[in-house]
Chain A
Amino acid sequence: MFIMINSEPDHNRFPFPLVRAAYMVILTAALIGLFPLIFPEGLDAVHFYNEIAPRPTITGIFRTRLYGLLMIALLLSSLLLTGGLLAWRRGRPSPRAVYRYIIGPVLLTLFLVLFSVQTLRHPVFFIREILTYADQPVAQRKIKLFGDAYEHALLIRARYPGYRVARIDSDFDFNESLGMTFHRRFSYFLYPIDTRTRSDETAPELIIFTRKAGAISAVPPGYRADYIIDDRNLVAVRKENGS
């Protein structure tokens, strides 16, 4: 940044003290922003992705997140420099000059500061993931990620190989967020045991009871409990004629 400004031919006429003051503001903001990297309780202050940072308020400035802090630094330094430039020069600088000497350098610096902080913060996520998933077989990683949705599906698929039409019965409400997530995961891992594309089947070959209290007593007429994983998880098979 300084390189660009220093290399300008008319830098002697530019209000350098104000530029330095603005950079001090930015630098301070950035250093405050780095605190979360040092203090564990502040780890959530720099979110990695997809989190909405709260809009900074006057009272909340010192506990706002880095992003909001940088925005304030941007506004302060831009105002400071714009005022300084207008006062320094006679006449009106063009918007392009204002951008070139004030806004542009400030934005580029802010961009690099935020990118650096996010990149420095990044290994925290990475190390957490390495500790969780590295040096484990894929199946073990899936169990960590999906729990019984994967583990039970694996057992059932091993017991009933090939394509079969099935229905899932559970105490979970599959229309509600948690239940829906479980259902989609379970269905994915069960396939080729098909629980989704022929859901209108009135008498599927299998009924899979999962997380169902009193699963054995819930087996409907015409079916028999064939594979009992535990008292809340079992597979019922349709009785053929005479069986």
Chain B
Amino acid sequence: MIYAGLIFSIVFPWLCGGLVLRCLLGGRCRFPLAVSGALSLFLGWGILTHGMLLLQIAGLPLNLLTAMLPALAAGGLAWRIGRGQPRSGAAPAELLPMPEEPLISAAGNRTRLLWLAFVAVTGYLAWWILWRTVNIPIYGWDSLATGMFTAKVYFFDGNLDKQPALPYPIYPLHVPLLTVWTALCTGGWHDANLKLLFPLPLFGFTVVLYHFLRSWTRRVWAVIGILCLWSSTLFILHGSITYRDLFLGCYNCTALLLLAVWMKNRDTGVLITAALLTGMASFIKLEGIMYLFIHILLVGFLCWQGPQRPRLRQWLSAGIFAAVSGGILLFYSAYKWSAGISTVRYAAPDAGGILSRMPAAFDAFTDALLWTPNWNITWIWLFFSLTFHLPLIRSDARVRFFSLALILFLGAHFAVSVVLGISQNIISPFTISRLLLHFFALVPVLIVLINAQTWAAAPSPREAGND
């Protein structure tokens, strides 16, 4: 019965999200089934948790039946709207998978050996993640102190009434509410079973990333990209614990990948899907609010850089993105305001200490980036890749977009740690590593995009130094 409940807890939001995704993308941008499945799950989770928040605002009790109602309504509405759209259509070239090709050009035993190694390593790590998820109960400090404690209170109370009195009431509720949903489906609070929710974003995002890298480069580079991602021990560890950082990282980076698609095809459905994911990310952690503003900046940048179109139409796209993602943020902010919960976590800027904090913050960031085994050597690899390919940043729109995004994310966290008086909390290696996890997936993306081009064709004699 518990396992049936667990399956239902995944299938229901997946179906609702799938209907919304179909409504948004229609036949214009069909992704492969696995990618659509992952995107549907991400969207469905967000719809479900916002629906649960809506129940609280409406004063309805929180139980399995009522929790399903808003998501069902959203799915039904999306189905109704999507029914009128064409069932099939040509996917834009941007998203078409490349023709099948061997992993490396010299097909044969070597190819099979590489595939075998890749499948063995990722399969082993996936097994470890699942084993750990199922066998080790919730244990993380933040989980027991805030996230899972909050979820447990909501589950036993059947409402969110105690939120103002809970520890850190300002924290967003996506993951606690998802946990409540899983507990409602399984019929009780089981510390081990509830964890099955947490590796799903990791697996879903891996599928999404592989597809996009495969579409943009060759298969061998898509494989290297996934290896880069999974070489981060922190990334895979977070798949087996009940922290919210991995959720935020997956939503944040999936939205950026979709924006990179939108950059080329300018499909409003893709833009709105990205906006929904961005808005939902702001419901996962407070950092998501900062990322939302960064995403709006990036969309503005894409509009400014985009092909010559009527200006008004371009800025209308930015307006749509800001309205959709900001609307989701405002929904939760309005709830907090009405419930008497502070909507911002204010830390007074301490201008006098900026210069004195800067070296310490810089030191802490370089330590977290370069001297932890959390990321393998991916940051160093990225640094060299960018340094030796500066012209590529100017000429390749995707490289430029992801580089800018990465600089904005890093810069924002560095600025926060230096400017605000909360720097001591941020610059502990543990915290910085978790913050980096929110956008770490951009590192493999950039490494792959740059290196795939470098090795795609032999450089001219002049480039090789024969001039």
Contact = CB atoms under 8 A, between A and B. Distances in A.
B162 interface: yes
B227 interface: yes
Interface residues of B, number: 69
Interface in A90-129: 91-101, 103-104, 107-108, 110-111, 114-115, 118-119, 122, 126, 129
A130 B127 CA distance: 12
A114 B373 CA distance: 9
Interface stretch (B266-274, B321-329, B354-362, B450-458): B450-458
> Which of A50, A122, A134, A196 has the most chain B CB within a 10 Å cutoff?
A50
Given A3-B106, A3-B110, A96-B459, A51 B373 contact: yes
Contacts of A13: 466
A183 B434 CA distance: 24
Contacts of B153: 191, 194, 197
Interface in A170-205: 181, 184-185, 187-188, 191-192, 194, 196-198
A149 to B, nearest CB: 9
Given A138-B192, A141-B136, A93 B145 contact: no
B301 interface: no
A4 interface: yes
B455 A67 contact: no
Contacts of B376: 111, 114-115, 118
B135 interface: yes
Contacts of B106: 3, 7
Given A48-B233, A115-B376, A96 B144 contact: no
Contacts of B465: 85, 89, 91-94, 97
B136 A103 contact: no
A49 interface: yes
B371 A134 contact: no
A235 interface: no
Contacts of B190: 138
A138 B133 CA distance: 12
A83 to B, nearest CB: 14
B231 interface: yes
Contacts of A108: 224, 381, 451
A70 B377 contact: yes
B239 to A, nearest CB: 12
Contacts of B234: 49-50
Given A70-B377, A119-B124, A197-B162, A192 B458 contact: no
Given A70-B377, A94-B462, A188-B145, 15 more contacts: A47-B373, A50-B372, A50-B430, A68-B371, A74-B377, A91-B466, A99-B384, A104-B455, A118-B231, A126-B131, A134-B135, A138-B191, A145-B136, A184-B145, A192-B157
